Amino acid sequence: MNWLDQVKWDARGLVPAIAQDVRTGRVLMFAWMNREALEQTHKRGEAVYWSRSRHKLWHKGEESGHVQTVRDIRLDCDGDVVLLQVEQAGGIACHTGRESCFFSSLDHDRWTVADPVLKDPAQIYDPTHTQAASTEQSDSGAALERIYATIASRRGADPNQSYVARLFHKGEDAILKKIGEEATELVMAAKDGNAEKILYETADLWFHSLVALAQHGLTPRQVLAELERREGRSGLAEFAARPGNS
């Protein structure tokens, strides 16, 4: 019997497929496969799914570059669920720019965002967005994104092995306390007129602000977009337009 015939396809000829990080065991995403998708996945060594909305095969990462290299394909005991153990390119499986599609956590009686955005989806899926940026902006933005991605990757790491993991472990109050401390040190450096210390303390303040962004699932790109929105607009007009300042 052909191995594909041993899969229990549903009435639509589909089987649910779960992608799991082969190194960490974290569930990255859920999708569907038809017979051809599963066969191509096996032959290519990269995940291929069936898009029910577009009615076509979908090679994971064909637009984003976040391909899934398949290390193992497993079938459950009932033969009706496929498990892919994969290496996820870029560490991003979700179209929202997060590591996993399962980023909402039930907190008492509401869903809360538990995972940070590692990369702005606009940068992943809109090539014109990247092309339009200047070389200087691109380099600066890339550096911030790299630092941010490293910070975000520390969530869930051993607090005894990582300073950032320790901040995440202690919670938001600890992160905000560090921001307050760094802001105060920047003010003191500026009052002293010490250019070297001003740069050093600004870097510290920016770094801990990135930690706060990651804590809330926000990205440096979103901050830059907000600054770009304000570009060319009077600061007084911007302030006056904010709620409660009229």
Parse the chain into domains and list their residue ranges.
3-91, 120-234
| Mean pLDDT of the 3-18 span | 97
pLDDT at position 134 is 44
Alpha-carbon separation of residue 144 from 84, 89, 126 (angstroms): 32, 20, 19
Please provide the CATH number assigned to the domain covering 3-91. Answer: 3.10.20.810
Q: What is the mean pLDDT of the chain?
A: 88
Q: At what angle do helices 195-215 and 220-230 cross, to 10 degrees?
A: 110
* H or E stretch at 20: strand 14-21
Q: Which of these, 148, 212, 154, lies nearest to 179 by C-alpha position?
A: 212
Does the pTM of the predicted model rise above 0.85? no
Is CATH 1.10.357.10 correct for 120-234?
no
Instruction: Retrieve residue 178's tokens.
Output: 């560090």
What tens digit of pLDDT does each residue of 59-115 get?
999 989 999 999 999 999 999 999 999 999 989 999 999 999 999 999 888 888 888
Rounded Cα–Cα distance for residues 223 and 213 (Å): 9
